[in-house]
Amino acid sequence: MREFKALINNELIDNGQWLEIIDPTTLQPAGRVTALSAQDIDNAYKAARASQKAWEEVELLKRMEYVKSFRNEIEKNKNEIAQIMSEEIAKGLKESLGEVERTIEIIDYTLEEAKRIDPLAMTGEGMGAKNKIGIFSRVAKGVILAISPFNYPINLAVAKIAPALVMGNTVVFKPATAGSLTGAFLGQLALNAKLPKGIFNVVTGRGREIGDIITSNKEIDMISFTGSVGIGNQIRKQGSSTDLVLELGGKDPALVLDDKNLEKYADEIIGGAFGYSGQRCTAIKRVLVSDEIADKLSPLLKARVEKLTVGKPSENANITPVIDLKSADFIQGLIDDAKEKGATILTGDKREQNLMWPTLIDNVTVDMKVAWEEPFGPVLPIIRINSVEEMIKIANESNFGLQASVFCQDISTAISVAKQIETGTVNINSKSQRGPDCFPFLGIKDSGEGVQGIREALLSMTRYKGLVINY
């Protein structure tokens, strides 16, 4: 059985306590990681604090070299990482490898962008301060806590770790339980890359047991968190003065405004709704469409859903088991509630434990839970609304505000509607998605605070340091 240890101060920790990681496909252990104690976690922060100033003093190009070595270790081991990931989160093997390769691209772009985080220089003349020049550089915030979700165990980890390190911060990284084998493996790769002692620490253990210990440590200067609204709000409530970037849940709507390219719309909607079995924050999680267009669109969606393969990650099935039985029960509950309230199941509504067939539900109404809650699974509700104004209203009534999609061939209409939708981003004529990773990525309302994306991550992990020259 795979066994990985936490990494603290460049030492692999074996404290005799273990956390078993269950393979969602077999529901058997995929491996185990160290289950850290409160003292272990405090030691990780002490190591990060002790090494931070010296690390910040290392010149940028040298820091970049270290992060590049880490990147090269990831590339060298990409197939092993993909295999581990696929076993622990039931992501298709090919898709897992794609996530690792996307992560390598993120590091490469991050390293390039880090060179362009230039100081801001300005004179005071505009405010009558004629003999002052201000130079405002970006400097490290200090010790950064990075917490990643289960569904992108390397991508949403390294998208925090790489910018943090290259800008001179040190990192305490908490992977999701489902994702900890991948996360702890990253710790071993960091050792192979010979990162300086203490700058990168991996703390493993179940969030509900050690989460509050991890997020309340006094050494934290910034928390970059990706995960659910519930946990994100718990972190907010900690009330510390720590800077926060929170990327949380979503209920991305797809507003279909015309029938001028329904085949393409259907491709985008199904790809957006059922990628990684719907376990994406940016998944399309509701379709808002008029009766007239729905009568033409629904059969196209149904045909595509029925073509999705269902099975094992090792066979690269489109739909693989959701992360655990609890999640499957929640998803099934949303389907059952919709059925009880009169919705039409066009296809799906079938499960074998946590393997859930992709489900398309028509005639969903706003009194049904699936109209508002985030299934984080292979379920897509169609809500029939016969006015664009009403569609916008329903879209905006959600407590989420991550992304949205507007499908319309008239670009002026599409832009006008997009401007009225209250989300971080609106995609015109494509599914909602975080990529390309150089774009800012943000959620508003319950979907988060702060901004991710490569340049934004570099900026969020630094602060201004001003130098005013009087002459």
Q: Which residues are catalytic?
A: 247
- Residue from 43, 148, 180, 282 that binds ligand G3P (CB under 6 A)? 282
* Binding status of residue 321 toward ligand NAP by CB under 6 A: no
Partner from ligand NAP, ligand G3P, none contacting 435, C-beta within 5 to 8 A by type: ligand G3P
* CA 69/CA 64 separation, integer angstroms: 9
Backbone phi, psi, residue 347, to 5°: -165, 155
* Binding status of residue 329 toward ligand NAP by CB under 6 A: no
3-state secondary structure of 341: coil
CB 344 within 8 A of CB 361: yes
CB < 8 Å & 24+ apart, contacts of 408-414: 408/255, 408/256, 408/257, 408/258, 408/260, 409/258, 409/260, 409/261, 410/257, 410/258, 413/257, 414/257
CA-to-CA dists, residue 285 to 23, 178, 268, 451, angstroms:
26, 23, 13, 22
Compare residues 153 and 313 and give the one whose CB is closer to ligand NAP. 153
Partner from ligand NAP, ligand G3P, none contacting 248, C-beta within 5 to 8 A by type: ligand NAP
Q: Which stretch binds ligand NAP (CB under 6 A): 44-52, 99-107, 116-124, 220-228?
A: 220-228
Q: Which stretch binds ligand G3P (CB under 6 A): 4-12, 65-73, 275-283, 353-361?
A: 275-283
Compare residues 234 and 261 and give the one whose CB is closer to ligand NAP. 234
* Binding status of residue 151 toward ligand G3P by CB under 6 A: yes
Six token digits for residue 156: 């949403």
Range 171-190, binding ligand NAP (CB under 6 A): 174, 176-177
Q: Which stretch binds ligand NAP (CB under 6 A): 246-254, 294-302, 337-345, 349-357?
A: 246-254
Cα 418 from chain centroid?
23
Compare residues 10 and 226 and give the one whose CB is closer to ligand G3P. 226
Range 9-68, binding ligand NAP (CB under 6 A): none
Could you tell me the smallest distance in angstroms from the CB atom of residue 61 to ligand G3P? 30
Could you tell me the smallest distance in angstroms from the CB atom of residue 64 to ligand NAP? 26
According to DSSP, the residues that pair with 133 across neighbouring strands are 123, 469
Range 256-295, binding ligand NAP (CB under 6 A): 281
Buried b (16+ CB within 10 A) or exposed e, 119-147: eeeeeeeeeeeeeeebeeebebbbbbbbb
For residues 174, 179, 181, 187, the Cα torsion angle rounded to the nearest 10 degrees is -40
Query: How many residues sit in the footprint of ligand NAP (CB under 6 A)?
Result: 32
Compare residues 247 and 437 and give the one whose CB is closer to ligand NAP. 247
* Binding status of residue 333 toward ligand NAP by CB under 6 A: no
* Binding status of residue 207 toward ligand NAP by CB under 6 A: yes
Sheet of 129-140: strand order equals 120-124, 129-140, 462-470
Partner from ligand G3P, ligand NAP, none contacting 433, C-beta within 5 to 8 A by type: ligand G3P
3-state secondary structure of 292: helix
* Binding status of residue 249 toward ligand NAP by CB under 6 A: yes
The helix (run of H) or strand (run of E) holding residue 72 is helix 60-76
Residues constituting the chain: 471
* CA 206/CA 174 separation, integer angstroms: 10
* Binding status of residue 231 toward ligand NAP by CB under 6 A: yes
Q: Which stretch binds ligand NAP (CB under 6 A): 52-60, 97-105, 142-150, 423-431?
A: 142-150
Q: HSE on the CB side for 199, CA within 13 Å?
A: 28
3-state secondary structure of 187: helix
* Binding status of residue 151 toward ligand NAP by CB under 6 A: yes
Binding-site ranges for ligand G3P (CB under 6 A)? 151-152, 280-282, 433-435
Binding-site ranges for ligand NAP (CB under 6 A)? 147-151, 156, 174, 176-177, 206-208, 211-212, 214-215, 226-228, 231, 234-235, 247-250, 281, 374, 376, 402, 443, 448
